[in-house]
Amino acid sequence: MSALSDEEQLNSLKNNTKKYSSTVISGVLIALIAYSGWTYWQNKQQGEAQLQTAKVQQLMDQAATVDVKDDNAWNSLTKTADEIVKNYPDSVQAIQTQLMLAKLAFERNDYATAEKALIKVENTKVDDQGLIHVVKLRLAYSQLAQDKFDAALKSLSAVTDPAFKATADEARGDVYVAKNDIENAKKAYMSAWDGLLERQQERQILQIKLESVGVLVDDPEIERPVLEMKMDESQ
């Protein structure tokens, strides 16, 4: 095989340089495009999140300055809230909006709307079990207010975290009282009492509830509930 002339070697070098340079440049361009796309996506996501947060803040400001019991003001708030939830489903801002809507609905004694908003939060993809337990507790009270006793008990049965057990037991007692099931109310309240005793939390309200179902307690800082009402020995 004859050696390549200087001119042929030069042409071969040019061709190889052109060939491999094109490949390298293409790779660089793809990387740059990918990076640009990622950067654009990040900026877009950040911008959308900021926009969502701004809308929620505007909604909260609006709610703080109007009378939610006024139907026109309420309709305006719910319209804005529905738009946020529709445009940004499963976002933190959508969850904030639903929780705020539930709170305002409670203030209007509109427990059906509160229940609906809380169920939407319950069904989101939020990965925060603490929040979900709080939502279930509030959901149970919205159902209790509508005399949906079985639904309320079902919601409370899903509160399984030990940190929320005493609160769930107290709520369960409230449901049983509303059902006029005093024996189960006693058991639920006493379970809540023991749980709060372990955590050394305030129990004055629970003490009143216990007494309302015929269970007297002596020292709320030390004693656990006794089962029978104390009789007045002077009689």
- In tens digits, the chain (235 residues) has pLDDT values of 455 555 555 555 545 544 544 444 444 444 443 443 434 434 444 555 566 666 777 777 777 777 888 889 888 888 888 888 888 777 778 888 888 888 889 889 999 999 999 998 888 877 778 888 888 999 999 999 999 999 999 999 999 988 889 999 999 999 999 999 999 999 999 999 888 876 666 677 788 888 888 877 664 454 445 444 444 444 4
pTM: 0.67
Query: What are the b/e assignments for 137-158, b being 16+ CB within 10 Å?
Result: bbbbbbbbbeebbebbbebbee
- Hey, where are the domains in the chain? 47-127, 148-226
- Cα separation, 11 vs 4, in Å, equals 10
Give, in order, the Cα–Cα distances in Å from 168 to each of 33, 117, 122. 53, 20, 16
Residue-level pLDDT at 111: 94
